[in-house]
Structure 1
Amino acid sequence: MSIPYHLHESLGYQMTVAARIQEKRLEDRLKALGLTRITWCILLAAGTEGLAHPSEIAGFVGIDRTAISRALRQMEDDGLIRRKAGEADRRTTLVEVTEAGAVRVEQAIPIAQENSRLVEAKLTEEEVAGFRRILAKLREGEELSLKTF
């Protein structure tokens, strides 16, 4: 006798669907600026978070070395970032947001804020605070580097 599994009742499935809904809405709106969710996160990491090393940026975004290299190469081709050798150690690579990249960040911030507002508007302040606590608890002890973010 097999034990039934009800996919749509699974908490993991429901979290995935909810996450994909907000991700898709954000991706669709960022696309108008020539950005993806990943390039947006990289611009935030390098521009507003002050991260300069590709490995730091990859960790912040939750992607692996191959993905960060590919994304940085494309973003450099698009004029959003520049890569340069480190001053103290010429073997290191540093990432800087260009003026065009900074403009894109400023244009995308209202999009990201609206996306967050739409999600949070469905919940009370107490529910938002509780949801943040629950999500933090679910992440505890888990691998933080998301290879397929």
Structure 2
Amino acid sequence: MDSDTSYRLHDSLGYQLSMAARVQERRLDEGLRQLGLTRMSWCVLLAVGSEGLEQPSLIAEFVGIDRTATSRILRTMEGAGLIARMSESVDRRKTSVSLTARGKDVLDKGVPLAVDNNQIMSARLTGDEFTELSRLLQKVRAGEDTPLSGI
């Protein structure tokens, strides 16, 4: 095989990004599962509880998913008692989302898990390396604004 035209999987940016993300996600998923959450429901909890987002379209944009996926996860979370959805009195087509007491409790329990998970990988980098990696990842993602169906 000609080495000039071969594709080296383990040397590819996509592979390295995927592997790093999987390690981080697997550890977070294990902690979230103990709280009855998925990574998607965690992101929505953060959007509503930490960022103060109330509109489903803003939640979808923040999480980086499409409106259909957002609607599905909101329905599931409402059934689990984590969020409440209310139609606005003036325009019944508009929905406002808020955390329930249970949702706030789960969010409070999840934050330390997420912080610890972040710390494990970021501790392997110096402050300058972390800043540079963040900058480079933003650069790689630039222009890729198409919402995903899931995370």
TM-score by length of 2: 0.93
Deviations 1:82-138 (A, max 9, x none): 110013322111111000000000000000000010010111111001111111111
Aligned to 2:79: 77
2:100 alignment partner, one of 80, 98, 101: 98
Partner secondary structure for residue 90 of structure 1: coil
> Are residue 37 (structure 1) and residue 39 (structure 2) matched?
yes
Aligned to 1:143: 145
Unaligned segments of structure 2, at least 5 residues: none
Partner secondary structure for residue 51 of structure 2: coil
Whole-angstrom CA distance in 2 between matches of 1:43 and 1:128: 26
Residue 32 of structure 1 and its aligned partner are, at CA, apart by 0.3
Deviations 1:63-88 (A, max 9, x none): 11221111111100100001100133
Whole-angstrom CA distance in 2 between matches of 1:43 and 1:109: 10
> Are residue 11 (structure 1) and residue 31 (structure 2) matched?
no
Alignment of 1:102-113 (within 5 A): 102-113=104-115
Corresponding letter in the other structure for 2:48 = A
TM-score by length of 1: 0.94
Corresponding letter in the other structure for 2:109 = Q
Aligned pairs, number? 149
Unaligned segments of structure 1, at least 5 residues: none
Please provide the CA RMSD for this pair: 1.4
Q: How many percent of aligned residue pairs carry the same amino acid?
A: 50
Alignment of 1:48-67 (within 5 A): 48-67=50-69
Residue 147 of structure 1 and its aligned partner are, at CA, apart by 2.9
